[in-house]
Structure formats: C-alpha cells, structure tokens
Copies of this chain bind each other. A is one copy, B any other.
C-alpha cells in the first residue's frame, strides 16, 4: 500500500473536460452538471461543473472526451475540439473540491491534469439527461454561470475566447441553424456568440457574396410583420469562409 501511494503521486491522473456551448436563437449557453454532493444531507447542493472525468487505460483522448460527455449527460454525436490542457498542481485544492474527490475517487489525493475540449451546438438538438455522478445536466446561460468546481471557470473562459476567435472557421452554420433560416436568424447567431452588434446591410452583403448560403423560394408564414425569405446552407461548403 505504500507503493500504491507513491506511484499514484508520481503518476498524475489524466481527465478530460468538455465545454459544450449551446445556441438557442437568443442566448449562448453552456452545458453544466451538478455533481452529487459529497455529504449525505439531503439539503446539500452539489457543485456545478463542466462534464469531465478521468480517462481510461489505453483510451484515446478524443474518445475519452466523447465517452465522458455521454456518460454524464447522454449527449453524443457531436464534434469535440481539443483546445488546451490544464495542469496547475493546485487546481483541485479548494476544500469543497477535496471533499468531493474524497467521496468519489479511488485515489482522491492524486493530482489530475485535464485535457479540455469544446463544441458548439444548436441547443434544441441536444437534450442532456444526467447520469453517472451528475445529479443534473442543464444548459446555463453564459452570463449566469456562477462558481464552478475546480478550475472550471478558468477553463470556460478560455473556451469562450477561443470560440470567438475561431467562430469563422467552424462549419458553424451547418450544425447551428435549422434546415431553413432567415438572414436575421443567422445574424443573431453571430451577434450572440461574438457579443456585438453587426450592421444588417453589411452582414447580408458579405454573407451572400461568400456563397455559403442559398435563397429559397419559401418565406415565413404567420408572422406579424413582413415575412422574411428563407435560406439554406450551400452543401458544397464544408467550412464557413471568413465573413465576419
């Protein structure tokens, strides 16, 4: 058992954490789990956290991220992009985190290095349901995220800044918009994620010129204003061009 200790210290554990951003036409949200509390008192609230867990023996990192996300939230079939690795030796040292680790992990004192992934999805397409050590799994508005477990606030911030920077090269539209959509709807996507306002005329000119979308004959129905034309993405584009 002395060996056990020594080795567990020498070898850090490795985990993956997933930052899943969800766009719901009006807000940018992030998928968080509530961990089961480490005490037995019924009234206790567990910490909110990004879905994440230790990787398995001989498991590829990308596979681990998919598996962990599925095990905790039942989400699958989404593309996860690795964006950073966090290994501060004190990243698990908050008292409440320590308690949770002691109640949950086989070797709670082990250091954990985590490889972080992110994704951006259309919220309606994915309905998380909690499982494993997740008591809840919910979409939380990006502006209403409170204190998260471990260093997850730091991880989330970094993910958000990378999302903004790389938005233009995410094959975003394909996943994030319904089959048919209006230009205002698409503009809202960009405005919400980038957290800025864009000029309507300039946005339209630019995106139409890019060729990424195609106008349809159809228009909106049953709206109390001039109905907007629907568009769809041009299938031949795999990547969004640099249009914002």
Contacts and interface: CB of A to CB of B under 8 A. Distances in A.
Contacts of A111: 57-58
A113 B15 CA distance: 11
A115 interface: yes
Copies in the complex: 2
Interface in A73-123: 82, 84-85, 87-89, 110-111, 113, 115
A9 interface: yes
Interface in A1-49: 1, 3-4, 7-14
A3 B11 CA distance: 14
Contact of A85 (B3, B7, B9, B61): B61
A94 to B, nearest CB: 17
A221 interface: no
A13 B87 CA distance: 13
A59 interface: yes
A60 interface: yes
A10 B9 CA distance: 13
Contacts of A183: none
Interface in A53-72: 55, 57-61
Interface of A: 1, 3-4, 7-14, 55, 57-61, 82, 84-85, 87-89, 110-111, 113, 115
Nearest 3 interchain pairs by C-beta? A11-B11, A61-B87, A85-B85
